[in-house]
Amino acid sequence: MARETAPAGTRTDATGGTADLLRVENLSVEFPSPSGGWQTTVQDVSFSLKPGGSMALVGESGSGKTVTSIAVMGLTGATGGRIASGRIVFDGVDLTAGTQKQWRDLRGPGMGMIFQQPIRSLNPAYTVGDQIAESVRKHLGMNRKQARARAVEMLDMVQIPRAAQRIDDYPHAFSGGMCQRVMIAMVMACNPRLLIADEPTTALDVTVQERILELLRDLQEQTGVALLFVSHDLAVVAELCRDVVVMYAGEVAENAPSEQLFFHPRHPYTSGLIGSIPKPGLSTDRRLRAIPGGIPAPGAWPHGCRFSSRCEFAVPGRCDVAHPGLVRLDGAAEHHARCVRAAELSLDGVTV
Amino acid sequence: MSLLEVENLTKSFSAGRDWLGRRTKWLNAVKGVSFTLERGECLAVVGESGAGKSTVGRMVLRLIEPDSGSVTFDGIDVLATKPKQLRALRQRMQMIFQDPYSSLDPRMTIRDAVAEPLLVHTDKDRATREKEAVELLDKVGIGSRYLERYPAELSGGQLQRVAIARALTMKPSLIVCDEPVAALDVSVRAQVLNLLRDLQEELGLAYLFVCHDLALVEVIADRVMVMAAGEVVETDTTDQIFANPRQEYTKKLLAAIPVPLPRDAQGNRLVAPGRVG
């Protein structure tokens, strides 16, 4: 199952390093607004992911993280929106310039996605074996017998006990955590090169969450699949991802390798998110640091910094006048923050 | 006398029926659970899905009828109370649910939703009811510009604040909170937990706080009751549960709390700078 050699089509860039598997360039996504016209919900988002890499898209509900991941899957149209501008380049091919069919052919062998509520992602009327077999028969052209064998192999791989028997069970016979394993098996059965996981553990118990995160880590090691992990919870992200993109109000607020971002955040929003993670045994005054207020809705984005109204460091006259750009920070190769005060603030990171 | 005394509470649900509709299989959801809750205290009930923690919360309010056991609230036998008296009793014991989107009437404005309990339980006139509702909404941090809005126009965190205000209208002494922040974002979760804590101090409320996430419990609970498969595993003060858990199961739950420390290329946790070890 392990991918020993680099998969066909992996290219190297001019410097000899591995080329990006996924590159999102200046992506903007719009949805029809109730008052007519189109409303931008994701604006000018860029990031890239190497083969076998792991990156997190982090933000609150309404930050645009799911809209971004849906766009990477090429499903924006199916959710009623449209890609207004920007490019999504997968393995060197600009998908936004291609046809829907090209994208469709990639879903499965190229990229796969798992969602927050596994029980709702599975069809209750078919056995889990049939559902896994369906995807490999369609995408890999296997016959019935091969597909069934593959389904057992995959259920085994995601550590479902007695895989050969469980394959004939219906989704209702599986718990939430087991359903998520089935979803992962289904997506991984086609050997995708990119796995998008949208809040895959939010609906699960903490103990089950721990095991699913372990499984995702193992899968990455075994198959070399790249992971785009979408979550609102930085604590979960730390378990899994090497790079983090923090989104706020439809745009990138900060991005950095995990170590930089967790220990030396440069955007007050990131620091606030880190502060609101409960730290067992360490909250002396028994209070959590909260970020006041709520995220502005698309269409109500303020003129200046979109986070300024909730930011304890905001300075009138500087933060609310012009929309700050995403600036590369000194001293850190791949660290960008969208804050005019990034250079002068000393923000709290993880201190556990 | 404790505010709430629960003894030997048991409940089983039918898990299968034959073709005549007779119950054939039984699921023992709660098996002999006992605990007490003092005035102004917060007891957290922690466990995985299926542990029976929500069933316990609901049985205390008699939203689910227990099979056996006793619930004594402020000296009153809740299980023996007649429907009319139970209604009156429930003014003093309220509940907040996990999903604020489905616990509020979508066709009722925020102000009406909060004023409704006063209409049901008191004979205060409309102006008084609305005035009290506005005061409560202000207390939970919902400003006057939301009074005429409908639930669909508010975010999850705001709706949970409205649900809290509504639970407070009858000045209860006990609120059963069933996973009140599980559906909320991490940043908003902190706001709502801090609000619940402030209200507890100000109003002397007792909480029965049902939650699957031990990490959140430390902020709010005085004592913790850990449940598994319908039974109590251990009950202790919050400090003891975190510092010296006695049962393996509690240790397992504590170990599963994700730590916000990134890993290096080999998968080892990195250590925060400026900290030894």
Chain A residues whose CB is inside 8 A of the B262 CB are 238, 241-242, 258-259, 261-262
Interface check for B156 against chain A (CB to CB < 8 A): the answer is yes
Give, to the nearest 10 degrees, the angle between helix A206-223 and helix A176-188: 10
Total domains in chain A come to 2
Task: Write down which residue in A171, A190, A209 finishes a domain.
Answer: A190
**Closest Cβ opposite residue A288 in set B190, B212, B242:** B190
**Closest Cβ opposite residue A276 in set B190, B213, B243:** B190
Q: How far is CA A149 from CA A124, A222, B160, B184, in A?
A: 21, 19, 48, 41
Distance from CA of A249 to the nearest CA of B (A): 14
CB contact under 8 A, A278 and B243: no
pLDDT of residue B274: 60
Distance from CA of A229 to the nearest CA of B (A): 14
In a domain, A328, yes or no: no
Chain B residues whose CB is inside 8 A of the A312 CB are none
Distance from CA of B85 to the nearest CA of A (A): 38
> Measured between alpha carbons, how far is B32 from A36 in angstroms, rounded to an integer?
59
CB contact under 8 A, A290 and B242: no
Q: Is the pLDDT higher at B183 or at A305?
A: A305
- Probe site for chain B from A239, A260, A295, A312 (most B CB atoms < 10 A): A239
> Measured between alpha carbons, how far is A167 from A154 in angstroms, rounded to an integer?
10
Q: What percent of chain B has pLDDT over 70?
A: 99
Chain A residues whose CB is inside 8 A of the B49 CB are 175-176, 205
> Measured between alpha carbons, how far is B52 from B229 in angstroms, rounded to an integer?
7
In a domain, A199, yes or no: yes
- Examine the domain organization and report whether A26 and A105 are in the same domain: yes
Nearest residue in A to B268, CA atom: A239
We report the CATH number of the domain holding residue A234 as: 3.40.50.300
Handedness of CA B259, B260, B263, B267 (dihedral sign): positive
Chain A residues whose CB is inside 8 A of the B183 CB are none
- Examine the domain organization and report whether A146 and A244 are in the same domain: no
Task: Write down which residue in A151, A175, A190 finishes a domain.
Answer: A190
In a domain, A349, yes or no: no
CB contact under 8 A, A235 and B264: no
pLDDT at residue B276 greater than cutoff 50: no
Interface check for B186 against chain A (CB to CB < 8 A): the answer is yes
Interface check for B259 against chain A (CB to CB < 8 A): the answer is yes
- Examine the domain organization and report whether A228 and A283 are in the same domain: yes
CB contact under 8 A, B263 and A349: no
**Closest Cβ opposite residue A352 in set B190, B267, B272:** B272
In a domain, A323, yes or no: no
- Examine the domain organization and report whether A263 and A243 are in the same domain: yes
Mean pLDDT value across residues B46-57: 91
Is residue A195 within a helix (H) or strand (E), and if so which, with residue range?
A: strand A194-198
In a domain, A117, yes or no: no
Give, to the nearest 10 degrees, the angle between helix A176-188 and helix A144-157: 130
pLDDT at residue B188 greater than cutoff 80: yes
In a domain, A160, yes or no: yes
- Probe site for chain A from B49, B187, B233 (most A CB atoms < 10 A): B187
Residue B63: HSE in the Cβ half-sphere, 13 Å Cα cutoff: 14
Interface check for B215 against chain A (CB to CB < 8 A): the answer is yes
- Probe site for chain B from A55, A276, A284, A348 (most B CB atoms < 10 A): A276
- Examine the domain organization and report whether A99 and A244 are in the same domain: yes
User: Is the ipTM of this structure higher than 0.85?
Assistant: no
**Closest Cβ opposite residue B193 in set A259, A288, A352:** A288
Helix (H, G, I), strand (E, B) or coil at B82: coil
pLDDT, tens digit (0-9, with 9 covering 90-100), for B55-66: 999 999 999 999
A45 neighbors A252 (Cβ within 8 angstroms): yes
Alpha-helical regions (H) of A20-115: 65-72, 100-106
> Measured between alpha carbons, how far is A349 from B174 in angstroms, rounded to an integer?
37
pLDDT, tens digit (0-9, with 9 covering 90-100), for A254-303: 999 999 999 999 999 999 999 888 877 665 566 778 888 888 888 889 98
Q: DSSP letter string over A235-260?
A: HHHHHH-SEEEEEETTEEEEEEEHHH
Mean pLDDT value across residues B226-254: 94
> Measured between alpha carbons, how far is A307 from A254 in angstroms, rounded to an integer?
12
Helices (H) and strands (E) in chain B, counts: 10, 10
pLDDT, tens digit (0-9, with 9 covering 90-100), for B147-167: 999 998 888 889 999 999 999
CA-based angle B244:B246:B252, to the nearest 5?
90
Handedness of CA B134, B136, B142, B148 (dihedral sign): negative
Interface check for B155 against chain A (CB to CB < 8 A): the answer is yes
Nearest residue in A to B252, CA atom: A207
In a domain, A342, yes or no: no
CB contact under 8 A, B262 and A290: no
CB contact under 8 A, A290 and B252: no
> Which residue carries 């316990």 as its tokens?
B56
Interface check for B143 against chain A (CB to CB < 8 A): the answer is no
CB contact under 8 A, A207 and B252: yes
Domain boundaries, position A52:
19-110+192-302
pLDDT at residue B95 greater than cutoff 70: yes
CB contact under 8 A, A278 and B187: no
CB contact under 8 A, B263 and A272: no
In a domain, A196, yes or no: yes
Neighbouring C-beta atoms of residue A141, cutoff 10 Å: 9
Average pLDDT of the residues of chain B: 90
> Measured between alpha carbons, how far is B178 from A166 in angstroms, rounded to an integer?
33
What's the token pair of residue B199? 């209200």
Nearest residue in A to B47, CA atom: A205
Interface check for B53 against chain A (CB to CB < 8 A): the answer is no
Residues of chain A with pLDDT under 50: 1-10
- The size of the A-B interface in CB pairs under 8 A is 134
- Examine the domain organization and report whether A181 and A229 are in the same domain: no
Instruction: Tell me which residue of A61, A42, A38 sits closest to A295, measured CA to CA.
Output: A61
pLDDT of residue A285: 64
Task: Write down which residue in A302, A321, A338 finishes a domain.
Answer: A302
> Measured between alpha carbons, how far is B72 from B38 in angstroms, rounded to an integer?
12
Residue B228 banded pLDDT, cuts 50, 70, 90: very high
- Examine the domain organization and report whether A97 and A199 are in the same domain: yes
- Residue B135 burial by Cβ neighbours in a 10 Å radius (0-12, 13-18, 19+): exposed
- Examine the domain organization and report whether A171 and A212 are in the same domain: no
pLDDT of residue B22: 83
- Examine the domain organization and report whether A81 and A142 are in the same domain: no
- Examine the domain organization and report whether A208 and A101 are in the same domain: yes
- Examine the domain organization and report whether A97 and A133 are in the same domain: no
- Examine the domain organization and report whether A185 and A197 are in the same domain: no
